[in-house]
Amino acid sequence: MIKRSLILSLAFLSTIGFAQQMTTNTGAPIGDNSHSKTVGKNGPVLLEDFTLLEKLAAFDREKIPERVVHARGAGAFGEFVASADFSDVTKADFLSQAGKKTPLVVRFSTVTHQAGSPETYRDPRGFAVKFYTQEGNYDLVGNNLPVFFIRDAINFPDMVHAFHPSPVTNGASDPNRVFDFFSEMPEGAHMLTWLFSDYGTPANYRQMEGNGVHAYKWINDAGEVTYVKYKWVPQQEVKNLNTDEAAKIQSMAIEHATLDLRNEIDKGNFPKWDLYVQMMKKADFDKFDFNPVDVTKIWPADQVKSVKVGTMTLNKNPENYFQQVESAAYSPATLVPGIEPSEDKLLQGRLFSYGDTQRHRLTGNFQQIAVNAPIVKVTNNNKDGYMSMREQKGNVNYQPATSRPDYVENAKFEYSATEFVAGTKTVQDVIDKENNFQQAGELYLAFSKKDQDNLIKNLSGALNAVNNKVIVYKMIAQFYQANSEYGTRLMKATNTSINDVKQYLPK
């Protein structure tokens, strides 16, 4: 009677959601999930205990390769609402009607540090948005800061190696290695000025800006090209941390930004960002003293006005971190009709590298994972391989095929016919109009006195940790060329003289 009552009680609990029958991966019920099958009560464990073997085998394979960059992240779901019809400049469907709603998923991240690192570290923050549009997924992959350290993808592995732990000590990011690299990369002066200001330590993910960083092309139905740069502006107040504030938070929590995002969404305080774009025609490129597709440069706001494109609201937290955040895969090559990459040399490398790293982490079929799958039907002849889950039927898995006249292509997604300068030849060289230092100096002057003071404190603190003084002199020479006051203050803060620096200044 007792046994029957227990069974009935369990059955009742199951119907109201308090108890669930545990099963193996093949759906067979598990009788005991706490004790292995043994020979007698105290004997050895049996190899035939397939529940034990499956459980241990699954556990052994829980971890996948960590992202080389952007390893520490948080995410949320939401929607984007277009603010107007932009079909005059792009045929992108999700921007074709005012009020049009598009679901999305966002992943915020730190960049150079490992998955378990504190979210208070000085570091750029990733700001990646996956739009689930009616014409496939569109990934807008950027950072909180508007520029980047380097302009050519061939230097990206070296830059990341310089930021990552020493191969000898495996210690944390070492200023000796970082500035050794940048002492030979003057294009990084602008980004370093951003990074060592308080913008390098955002207070959380909700209160930081986002930037597409690169220039992209918008294409309309007439094939006309408009170059654009994206910026996410939070409706929440932008807030950063100074060094002392970051240290205080780090002493109490290493995942403060992740928890802040989740807790605020749980409370119904849904964070919002307005998306703005700057637009420029190729004919206007020569009006500037820098190359507008140079990723180390901003487009001055007083010369290239911003237009509001829409608003993003994050209103739903992930229910499983691994499946919906860690498995979320972004790539700037994930495009839709009406949006194309520019000639930016760093972006061109990222078009390959981002998808390639996702194939390494998540297999070649990573787009079939639920969080990465589009909301529209996928039809192509890509087949098989690890994690192939998309339904594939029929005998014809090739194209063209007379027997499959329903296989059609969409002329709407023909790439724009880019005209190159007549007589152009293949080269490996720097771009025209490098102008490495002007915008870094303008940024310094744009900062408040408090922000300038914090920049000098943060940057000189890092430079004072560099053992090789030649590296220090070279770095200060770069910032001196950006602005003489900027460089002079760094000299004073590092006990360096103009005589030490002048040999690395232009003659």
Phi–psi pair at 126, nearest 5 degrees: -70, 145
Choose among 429, 315, 322: nearest CA to 370.
Answer: 322
- First vs last C-alpha separation in the chain: 98
Phi–psi pair at 442, nearest 5 degrees: -65, -35
* Strand intervals (E) in 144-297: 210-211, 216-219, 225-234, 272-280
Instruction: Confirm if 147 and 200 have CB atoms less than 8 A apart.
Output: no
Scanning 408-468, the segments in alpha helix (DSSP H) are 438-446, 449-463
What's the CA gap between 429 and 424, in Å, rounded? 13
Q: What's the chain's length in residues? A: 507
Contacts of residue 252, Cβ cutoff 8 Å, sequence gap at least 6 = none
Reading the block at residue 360, the tokens are: 């390494």
Instruction: Confirm if 461 and 495 have CB atoms less than 8 A apart.
Output: no
Choose among 275, 333, 341, 304: nearest CA to 94.
Answer: 275
**The one catalytic residue among 70, 113, 190, 214:** 70
Give Rg (Cα) of the chain.
27
Scanning 61-174, the segments in alpha helix (DSSP H) are 156-163
Q: Is 354 annotated among the ligand-binding residues?
A: yes
ω before 400 within 30° of 0 (cis)?
Answer: yes
CA 163 to chain centre: 17
214 is catalytic: no
70 is catalytic: yes
**The one catalytic residue among 137, 143, 211, 365:** 143
CA 335 to chain centre: 15
What's the CA gap between 213 and 221, in Å, rounded? 25
Residues labelled as active-site residues: 70, 143
Known binding-site positions for heme = 354
Known binding-site positions = 354
